[in-house]
Amino acid sequence: MTAPAERLAAPAAEDADGPWRRTNVIPRLVYWGIHAACFAAFFTGVSRTDLILFGATLSLRMLGITAGYHRYFAHRTYRTSRPFQFALAVLGTTATQKGPLWWAGHHRTHHANSDEPGDVHSPRDGFWYSHQGWIFDGRWDDTPTELIRDFARFPELVWLNRWHILPPALLAILCYAIGGFSGLIWGYVISTTVLWHLTYSINSLAHRWGTRRYATSDTSRNNWLLGLLTFGEGWHNNHHHYMASTRQGFFWWEIDVTYYVLRGLAKLGLVWDLREPPANVVTPESQRGLPEAA
């Protein structure tokens, strides 16, 4: 088994955000341009290859966010080697949600201030803000390196955080090489847009609709539909109750695809020490036998 990545230190760079941090125009043009480009599907049509590209790029990049950015970089709920850590980071960047240090650092801010002042995307600031408005708020433009020092020690992650635009650009080129213009539209443009809004739905919808098994200090809720669509992230009240767990679907009927994939990777020796929620956390004595709150 390879030495765990977190035991290997590397110096951090001064600038963690890359040259485009100096302008707010380009990221906004790219973001809305990708949304607008989805309408090109009315002209390209759709083929079997397009649908395969769409399904593959959506699923793999969803895992890059859920298994990589979220459960590994933000919460460190399992361990892995330094090479596989970098592979997870690269896969996460292909989702076009900026770099791993930026994403995980701000997610830690969210948990520290969930639904309170200082939360990155509190639903109390309105649905639009919690869903996607926050990404245009200048307060969150910079990578909070002080909150992600454990991973900012690795020079390859700092480099990738600065040049996070490269993996999605290469993915777009690959989709074009495989399926032509329609492959680009379905495999990258539409897939990216759907992935964005599925990710954002956890910040917005999973704090509004669903059930609350645990009396957390925020408005997090379990939503079975989002749980299916986001590979387990919809069990959001579970997650806010005990964020250290690799598994977010605490019970067998709470489908958590990300956890199943990580269990498979553990059998291959690529990840290990997956953290499970203790029994007293899953069913606190004070809540045994009580129905879930709506």
For the CA atoms of 31, 34, 37, 38, what is the dihedral angle to 10 degrees? -110
pLDDT band at 10, cuts 50/70/90?
very low
Dihedral sign of CA atoms 234, 238, 242, 248 in order: negative
Query: What pLDDT, on a 0 to 100 scale, did the predictor assign at position 290?
Result: 53
Q: What is the DSSP string of 36-101?
A: HHGGGHHHH---HHHHHHHHHHHHHHHHIIIIIIIIIIIT--SEEBHHHHHHHHHHHHTTSS--HH
Spatial contact of 86 and 151, defined as CB atoms under 8 Å apart: no
- 289: pLDDT strictly greater than 80: no
When pLDDT is averaged across residues 231-256 and rounded to a whole number, the result is 96
Q: Phi/psi of residue 4, each to 5°?
A: -60, 140
pLDDT > 90 in the chain, percent: 77
What residue ranges do the domains of the chain occupy? 40-136+143-279
- 204: pLDDT strictly greater than 50: yes
Query: What pLDDT, on a 0 to 100 scale, did the predictor assign at position 201?
Result: 96
Give ∠ CA 75-80-84 in degrees, rounded to 5. Answer: 110
For 206, the token pair is 């999973």
User: Hey, what amino acid is at 133?
Assistant: G
> For residues 263 and 194, what is the distance between their CA atoms, to the nearest angstrom?
26
Closest by alpha carbon to 231, among 204, 264, 258?
Answer: 258
For 77, the token pair is 């709920």
Q: Tens of pLDDT along 19-77?
A: 666 556 778 888 999 999 999 999 999 999 999 999 999 999 999 999 999 999 999 99
The answer for residues whose C-beta is within 8 angstroms of residue 19's C-beta and 6 or more apart is none
Q: Phi/psi of residue 235, each to 5°?
A: -85, 60
pLDDT band at 291, cuts 50/70/90?
low
Distance of CA 169 to the CA centre of its chain: 19
- 13: pLDDT strictly greater than 50: no
